[in-house]
Amino acid sequence: MFYLKKDFQFQENQEGLVIGLFERSGKLEGTLAELDHEFNGYIHELIKNGEISVKEKNISKIHTLGKIGTKTIWFVGLGKEKNLTFEKLRDSFGRLFKEIHHKHWEIAFLLDSFTNEKMDTLDAAHAMSEAYALATYHFQGYKQKQNEPEKSLSELTIYTDYCDQEELEASITVGYAFGKGTNSARNLVNIPGNLLTAEEMANYAIDLAAKYDFEVEILEKDEIESLGMGAFLAVNQGSTEPPRMIVLKYQGKELWEDVIGLVGKGITFDTGGYSIKTKSGIVGMKTDMGGAAAVLGAMEIIGELKPEQNVVAVIPSTDNMISGSAFKPDDVITSMSGKTIEVLNTDAEGRLVLADAVTYAKHHGANYLVDVATLTGGVITALGLHTTGAMTNNECLYEQVLEASFEAGEPIWQLPLFEKDKERVRSSKIADLNNSPGREGHAIVAGAFIGEFAEETPWVHLDIAGTATASKDYDLGPAGATGVMTRTLALFVERFEPLEK
Ligand code: BES
Ligand code: ZN
Ligand code: ZN
């Protein structure tokens, strides 16, 4: 799929060629100057009059009309050299791939034309392969008649003078693995709730474990009962679909120490239960397992890249349904930790299943915890649809997650966690905790609730209710599931440094 070559020649017979174009004053240099020469100065003219655009993320195309071997040249505008960041470069590649991916079978890249002082060919290779996987993603769906595209880009030849071929190949592999893992998460989120049940999600995890040699443990209902996971079970109580607690273990260090616990909310459909959602609010709730999908996507990347880290992934999976046996507001339930919970709102189910999952992750030796969940509409009110809400009990761990999110291009923003917020979660008159102390700042109290179960273990909470899906197409993907936090989690794990004790 990716081929590396040196010494580019314009006379080679090629369907298409891609060149990065910075906004520079003065004469054209290098390959561009050669190209301009072949076209008797015409390229320079087109750049000057803006028909070939140098502006950031602008894509321009010229036909060479037999002047050279290459039939079509695509220019990717990169703006001013000093302003180009890795994120902008990845987005630009994304935009290019969206434009060309049904126009060519194969294409060649002049990769060195995409580099600046801060970003070398290895970065460009990573950005390119990641964007290729992400931007060409498409959810197959269930239509009887599929619209088969005429062409699909599947061969990318990369011309570069970079000397270390192995390093280059590694960068391409890493970028592609990040993109692919994200696409797997997107697939899981896009599958409807009748087809992706807790049992199916467990089967998916079993297949992943077999592929990457992870240890796998799937708890069925009777085992969940014997472990006393009363909070998780309460959410499942109204369903005819049995729950699953899914555990995957990846051991990249000799000893099972400094274990990172990744915990993902895996509600396959959220009706709200007796605190039922409105008829418009309920549509789309198949995506309430976006946290689980991010964790599974990250585990795929971890399986591919095998970092020297220890990871336990824990996913509580069930739907949240209504029936004669469903849990109700006012019920009091007992979590695995022993903490009792007064249920005030059955639609605040995510924190209940996560409570037991966090306890279980610690049981499996997790020394650090990151939970990911489509937890609250409140985070959308607070931060909108582009930013994931974060909370923590440990700023140093948070710094590491923040850095990973920045590099992954998945922005997060921290919400506060004060004593007064904790007090609200602890304000039940008849139980240790209550699951819904009111709508004010409810993204914060939802996080605070999970924090009660993390206790002293360093923990970061990521609320992706606003970011797990996109309503419109964007540079790196189509409308629908985004796979958000897959890459952040994987990068976080790869770079993770244990905190000083
Ligand atoms: N799954 C929802 C949160 C959600 C909302 C996800 C919108 C994706 C898009 C969650 O279980 C929920 O219903 N939260 C309630 C909590 C409330 C009852 C305290 C909410 O945010 O309204
Ligand atoms: Zn809910
Ligand atoms: Zn939910």
Q: What is the pLDDT of residue 7?
A: 87
Q: What is the pLDDT of residues 451-474, one digit of tens each?
A: 999 999 999 999 999 999 999 999
Q: What is the pLDDT of residue 13?
A: 82
pLDDT for residue 12 is more than 80: no
Q: Which residues contact ligand 1 via a Cβ below 6 A?
A: 270, 272, 288, 345, 347-350, 374-378, 436, 442, 465
Q: Which range (67-71, 136-140, 293-297, 417-421) has the least confidence?
A: 67-71
For ligand 1, atom 22: residue with the closest CA: 377
Q: Which atom of ligand 1 is nearest to the CA of 378?
A: 21
Which one of the ligands is nearest to 281 CA?
Answer: 1
Q: Are residues 290 and 360 in the same domain?
A: yes
Q: What is the pLDDT of residue 408?
A: 97
Q: What is the pLDDT of residue 146?
A: 87
Cα gap 376→190, rounded to integer Å: 19
pLDDT for residue 501 is more than 90: no
Q: What is the pLDDT of residues 185-228, one digit of tens each?
A: 999 999 999 999 999 999 999 999 999 999 999 999 999 999 99
* CATH number of the domain that residue 86 is part of: 3.40.220.10
Cα gap 296→289, rounded to integer Å: 11
Residues 322, 238 contacting (CB under 8 angstroms): yes
105 falls within a domain: yes
What is the distance in A from the centroid of ligand 1 to the CA of 253? 38
Mean pLDDT value across residues 422-427: 98
Positions marked active-site: 277, 351
Q: What is the pLDDT of residues 151-174, one digit of tens each?
A: 999 999 999 999 999 999 999 999
Q: Which of 280, 371, 375, 434 to mutate to test the pocket of ligand 1 (most atoms within 8 A of CB)?
A: 375
Q: Which atom of ligand 1 is nearest to the CA of 376?
A: 21
Q: Are residues 98 and 53 in the same domain?
A: yes
> What residues contact residue 206 under an 8 Å CB cut-off, 6+ apart?
216, 218
What is the distance in A from the centroid of ligand 3 to the CA of 120? 43
Q: What is the pLDDT of residues 141-150, one digit of tens each?
A: 999 998 888 8
* CATH number of the domain that residue 438 is part of: 3.40.630.10
CA 190 to chain centre: 13
Where among 116, 138, 163 does a domain terminate? 163
Q: Which of 271, 376, 381, 435 to mutate to test the pocket of ligand 1 (most atoms within 8 A of CB)?
A: 376
Q: Are residues 476 and 381 in the same domain?
A: yes
Q: Are residues 307 and 437 in the same domain?
A: yes
Q: Which domain holds residue 35?
A: 2-163
Q: Are residues 251 and 124 in the same domain?
A: no
Mean pLDDT value across residues 16-35: 92
Q: Are residues 342 and 440 in the same domain?
A: yes
Amino acid identity at 425: V
Where among 138, 163, 188 does a domain terminate? 163
pLDDT for residue 11 is more than 80: no
Q: Are residues 106 and 136 in the same domain?
A: yes
Q: Are residues 158 and 193 in the same domain?
A: no
pLDDT band at 97 (very low <50, low <70, confident <90, very high): very high
500 falls within a domain: no
Q: Are residues 95 and 184 in the same domain?
A: no
Q: Are residues 365 and 236 in the same domain?
A: yes
DSSP letter string over 184-243? HHHHHHHS-TTTS-HHHHHHHHHHHHHHHT-EEEEE-HHHHHHTT-HHHHHHHTT-SSPP
CA 460 to chain centre: 16
* Domains contained in the chain, number: 2
173 falls within a domain: no
Where among 116, 136, 163 does a domain terminate? 163
Q: What is the pLDDT of residue 57?
A: 96
For ligand 1, atom 8: residue with the closest CA: 465
Q: Kindly list the protein residues that place their beta carbon closer than 5 angstroms to ligand 3, a single-atom ion.
A: 267, 270, 288, 350
Q: Are residues 263 and 304 in the same domain?
A: yes
Q: Which atom of ligand 1 is nearest to the CA of 270?
A: 1
Residue 47 DSSP symbol: H
Q: What is the pLDDT of residues 357-404, one digit of tens each?
A: 999 999 999 999 999 999 999 999 999 999 999 999 999 999 999 999
242 falls within a domain: yes
Q: Which tokens sit at 65?
A: 């009309």
Q: What is the pLDDT of residue 357?
A: 99
8 falls within a domain: yes
501 falls within a domain: no
Q: Give the sign of the dihedral formed by CA 473, CA 479, CA 484, CA 487.
A: negative
Q: Which atom of ligand 1 is nearest to the CA of 288?
A: 1
Q: Are residues 246 and 281 in the same domain?
A: yes
